[in-house]
Structure 1
Amino acid sequence: MLSARSLFQEIIDNDDSFQLFCSIAASGETQGGWENGRIAALVPESMRGLAPKISRHGADEDKHGRIFDALLKRRHLEPVPVPPETDYTLLLERHGIGLAHEKLRRDEQLSVEDIVVYLSHSRVTEQRAADQMDMLVKHFGDHPELGRAIRMICDDEDNHLAYCHEELLRLAAAGHGRTIHRVLRESALTEIKVYRDVSLAVMGHMGRLLQWPKVKSAALAAGINGMYGYERLGGWHRMVSLRMPERRGALDGPATPAPAF
């Protein structure tokens, strides 16, 4: 019987598939760290109070990248190139989710609307990240090799999501509600397509590495497409709602270290 637990167990038990999984994860986290670091440096003067929180967000993402690299090193494995079709962060940017890298590379101050758009995009993508980490903690939170790493990353992702909720609610109260509503909806409907495509690509690569039979790969593809259908029909709404989080000021203060990694 196919299940998230059995599939992920199969992936982490094989060095080649584990190497690809960690390489994809590390690349995405490191890219997110760079993006947040650049945004923190370019925040408009009127919003400088947000800069430390954005910087903390970027530091957390950098830390996650180092954690996945460390998991590879523990098995004496090196990172491998990330196939472009599995690069979630790259594909989101190509579809207009996230501030363009061309803009972030320039030393020009961002606008207030840029920050509103950035936080709206982040609310959507952090929901996905939090959901994925919750699933991994549920099944592998006590795993001797991965448990501590995924629990640490999961806690950070919950902080990131809480921060997005809190800051977007503050900005909505300041008059940016219409922009936030529009960008959240557009971002969610785009993200679910990108996530489906990336999931199909990742499972395709894993299937070849693990020599899955065609019927198993077909069943997985059907499941991924079925999840996309559910999200397209209404599941995406969980990615756009806003509520005041229980964790207030989740990104106040410095990033938490990960000395074991």
Structure 2
Amino acid sequence: MLSPRSLFQEILDHDESFRLFCSIAAGGEAQGGWENCRIAALVPTGLRDLAPKIARHGDDEDKHGRIFRALMSKRGLEPVPVPAETDYTMLLEQRGIGLAHERLRSDEPLTEREIIVYLAHSRVTEQRAAEQMDLLRRHFGDHPDVGRAVRMIAGDEDNHLAYCHEELLRLASAGHGRTIQQALRDCALAEIRVHRDVSLAVMARMGRILGWSRARSVLLATGIHAVYAYERFAGWHRMVTLTMPERRNALGGPGVPAPDFA
């Protein structure tokens, strides 16, 4: 039976597919860590209270990258280059979503609007990350090899999503509601397209590594297109709503270290 659990179990059990999965994940987390570090350094004076939280977000992303690399190292595997068509972060940037790397390499402080764009981008992408990690936590949270890593990363992603909701609501109450909603909508509609394209590219590569039949590959691709159709019609709305989270000030303290994965 084809299910998320059986699919990931197959990827987990094969060294080459596991190495590709972890390399893609580690690359994305490393990019996110660098981006948040630069944004924290460039926060404008009027929003300096956000800088420690953004830096904590970046530290978490760096930690996740180290965890994925440690999972590979534990099996004697080296990372592989991330294929361009699977680079979720850069594909979003190419579509004008979030803050461009060229902008983040400058020393000019960000504007208030750019911080809103950053938070909207994070709110949408953290929704995706939190959902994916929650799925893995439900199916593999007790796995002897990856369970602890999955639980730790999933908890962090929940914190990141809560932080985005709270900070965007705070800015909305300060009069930025219309700007926030437009930024969220633009990002969500771009993200669901990029997620579809990256999912197709990753599954195509996994299929070649694992020797999937054409019928199975077509079935998976059909499922990915079906998810995109649902998200394009209605599912994207979950990415643009804002609700005050139960977990308040989620990034207001020190991050949880992962010494066993360092």
- TM-score by length of structure 1 reads 0.99
Aligned letter for 1:24? I
Structure 2 residue 26 is the aligned partner of structure 1 residue 26: yes
Q: Distance in 2 between matches of 1:98 and 1:142?
A: 35
**3-state SS of the aligned residue for 2:260?**
coil
2:179 corresponding residue in structure 1: 179
Q: Distance in 2 between matches of 1:16 and 1:181?
A: 41
1:43 corresponding residue in structure 2: 43
1:188 corresponding residue in structure 2: 188
Q: Distance in 1 between matches of 2:97 and 2:74?
A: 34
Structural mapping, 1:1-261, within 5 Å: 1-261=1-261
1:66-91 CA-partner distances (Å, limit 9, x unpaired): 00000000000000001000010110
**3-state SS of the aligned residue for 1:99?**
coil
**3-state SS of the aligned residue for 2:259?**
coil
Q: Distance in 1 between matches of 2:20 and 2:69?
A: 11
Aligned letter for 1:47? L
Q: Distance in 1 between matches of 2:249 and 2:139?
A: 29
Aligned letter for 2:139? H
Structure 2, unmatched stretches of 5+, are: none
Aligned letter for 2:174? A
Number of corresponding residues: 261
1:205-245 CA-partner distances (Å, limit 9, x unpaired): 00000010000000000000000001011001110100100
Aligned letter for 2:186? E
Q: How much has 1:95 moved relative to structure 2?
A: 0.8
Q: Distance in 1 between matches of 2:96 and 2:34?
A: 17
The answer to which of 93-102 and 169-178 deviates more is 93-102
Q: How much has 1:98 moved relative to structure 2?
A: 1.4
CA RMSD of aligned residues (A): 0.5
Q: Distance in 1 between matches of 2:227 and 2:246?
A: 29
Structure 1, unmatched stretches of 5+, are: none
**3-state SS of the aligned residue for 1:260?**
helix
